[in-house]
Amino acid sequence: MLEELITLEDSTTLFLEHLKGELLKVKLISQVESLGTLKRTVVLFFDSNKAPVLYCESSLKIGNIMSSEYKQLIEGKQPIGKVFNCKSPTVAMKKGIEIKKLHNRLVADTMNVRSQTFYKKTYSYVINGRDIGQISEFFNMETLNRL
């Protein structure tokens, strides 16, 4: 499953929901709007926000987001993958995917895991030709074992 998530080019949200057979929930950690950018940090979880499967940081271009999408993002109740993949047909693309392995105590504490070693997957998110912004997803085997 780790290798699948690392190489995944489709929606991470929809992929995880398909694996688990349940809907992901969101816990909004922070959200700040500045200079035309919406910066969000969230954790995604199934059973408990104390056992998240993914930690996500995003920097989204407000000018490229429709008002209905913006409203859903600000409410903080939907994963980004659901906000932008709810319209049909949607062509979501992850461009310039970079994978790093790193140590991050803050992410480990937030994810409630012992291991501070994570994969960080960063990419540009493009929806139907709109450059939405950049997303970074943090995960490790400990968080993925919660699926």
Read off the CATH number of the domain in which 97 is found. Answer: 3.40.1410.10
DSSP string, 6-52: HH--S-HHHHHHHHHTS--EEEEEEEEEETTEEEEEEEEESS-TTS-
Structure tokens at 76: 């903080």
CA distance 93 to 87: 15
Q: In three state form, how does the secondary structure of 64-122 look? A: HCCHHHHHHHHHCCCCHHHHHCCCCCCCEEEEEEEEEEEECHHHHHHHCCCCCEEEEEE
Mean pLDDT, the chain, as a whole number? 93
Our measurement of the distance from residue 64's CA atom to the centroid of its chain's CA atoms, rounded to an integer in Å, reads 18
Please give the average per-residue pLDDT across 95-121, as a whole number. Answer: 97
Our measurement of the distance from residue 78's CA atom to the centroid of its chain's CA atoms, rounded to an integer in Å, reads 10
pLDDT digits (tens, 9 = 90+) for 30-83: 999 999 999 999 999 999 999 999 999 999 999 999 999 999 999 999 999 889
pTM above 0.75, yes or no: yes
Q: What are phi and psi of 40, to 5 degrees?
A: -130, 145
Q: Which domain holds residue 90?
A: 2-144
The number of folded domains in the chain is: 1
All residues at 6 or more sequence positions from 65 whose CB lies less than 8 Å from its CB, including other chains: 38, 73, 130, 132
Q: What pLDDT does 89 receive?
A: 52
